[in-house]
Amino acid sequence: MDYEELSKVLKAISDPKRMKIIDLLSCGSLCACDVLDHFDFTQPTLSHHMKVLEKAGIVSVEKKSQWHYYTLKEDRVDSFRASLTELFASTETCICMKEESSSD
């Protein structure tokens, strides 16, 4: 498990507004203006939040004319989900057991 990458994603989604953005994007790609309709903040504030999510690799952006369309990166979401599953694994598959097995 890549703890650095997992931590980067967790930090990016730790903000409640970014969590809501991810929730909105889980329905499909959205234009920035459509995302803004769900918040009471300015476009520059949205840009900041989107840049954080983009740097963490969770969201991709596509510029079409003057509009920015945001999409969840499904492969990154799947990887994140798998890492969380591994992190909260049962005792049979926890890191302690893996280390004991490799020292045998």
| Residue pLDDT, tens place only, 55-90 | 999 999 999 888 899 999 999 999 999 888 888 876
What is the rounded distance in angstroms from the CA atom of residue 48 to the CA atom of residue 88?
A: 31
Q: For 55, left (φ over 0), alpha (ψ -120 to 50), or beta?
A: alpha
- Say which amino acid occupies 50: M
pLDDT over 70 (residue 100): no
Per the model's pLDDT, the better-predicted residue between 21 and 89 turns out to be 21
Nearest to 30 by CA among 42, 20, 15, 40: 20
State which amino acid sits at residue 15: D
Yes or no: domain 3-103 corresponds to CATH 1.10.1530.10: no
pLDDT for residue 99 = 56
> Tokens 């097995």 appear where?
101
Kind and range of the H or E run holding 21? helix 16-25
93, pLDDT greater than 80: no
Question: What are the strands, taking DSSP E only, across 16-82?
Answer: 30-31, 59-64, 67-72
Predicted confidence at residue 1, as pLDDT, reads 78
Domain positions in the chain are 3-103
pTM, 2 dp: 0.81
Q: What is the pLDDT of residues 30-45, one digit of tens each?
A: 999 999 999 999 999 9
